[in-house]
Structure 1
Amino acid sequence: MEQENTENVSILIGEAQLILAEKRTSLAVLRSGVAVLALPITVLSFLIATSKYYDFFSVLHFVIPLFCILGALTLFGIYLIARSVIRMQRHDKLLKKIKAKNSAISELMD
């Protein structure tokens, strides 16, 4: 009986480690999403800061594709951030279920 309980606890600990590794990956995706989202803001700030050196309408053929790329990067950054937040919430729910299964694991994870 004691061996079954020990095996059960070790399986639950393994599951918790797997979920925490997935959560770490989601945090890395969140960090990447923030970096991708910061890039368009940086480029736009640079364009605004140097706007006195060019005429906006004379370089419109460069600006329109640039804004399209910046818009795509903004959407991609928002997608990465939203996806990672949703996955981290799912990981938290799974960890709560594992904590509820065994009180010994609950003590370790708090």
Structure 2
Amino acid sequence: MDFQAVAPAPPVDHDEPTCPPPPAPIIINEAQLVLAEKRTSLAALRTGIAIVALPMSLTTFLIATSRYYDTEDVLHFLLPVGALNLALLVLGTWLSLRAVRRLRQQEQTLRLLKERNGALAEFLK
């Protein structure tokens, strides 16, 4: 048997634009990490808003039903409920403000990543 070497075909010139080279894998991983942190911050913001809404709804319920009880008779119940409402309001506000602060930091980090790598900017608009 006679084996002959086969020369590869010469590359064909295309007039079509080529895709830009993909960004470096490390930059993509950094962007994925920042986006995952952003999703976590959004979940914390959602939780903070829900925690703030709980005391408001409970207080509204207590005010709506106040004609069925005398405040002096149930004061020993209302004071702990009021303290719990205040604690939940503070916790929800803290969670929301912390999440917003972290979202701003993550947006700034993404902006820096886009500036460092133009190809990444095409994917993250």
Give identity over the alignment, percent: 46
Residue 34 of structure 1 and its aligned partner are, at CA, apart by: 0.6
Aligned to 1:15: 30
1:109 aligns with 2:124: yes
Q: Deviations over 1:33-79 (max 9, x none)?
A: 01111100010010011000000111111111110000000000000
Residue 107 of structure 1 and its aligned partner are, at CA, apart by: 1.1
Aligned to 1:57: 72
Aligned to 1:41: 56
Partner of 2:119, secondary structure, is helix
Aligned residues: 105
1:96 aligns with 2:117: no
Aligned to 2:98: 83
How high is the TM-score relative to the length of structure 2?
A: 0.81
Contact 1:9 1:105 in 2 (8 A): no
Contact 1:37 1:78 in 2 (8 A): yes
Aligned-partner Cα distance in 1 for 2:46–2:91: 13
Runs of 4+ residues deviating >2 angstroms: none
Question: What 5-or-longer segments of structure 2 have no aligned partner?
Answer: 1-20
How high is the TM-score relative to the length of structure 1?
A: 0.91
RMSD: 1.2
Question: What 5-or-longer segments of structure 1 have no aligned partner?
Answer: none
Residue 83 of structure 1 and its aligned partner are, at CA, apart by: 0.5
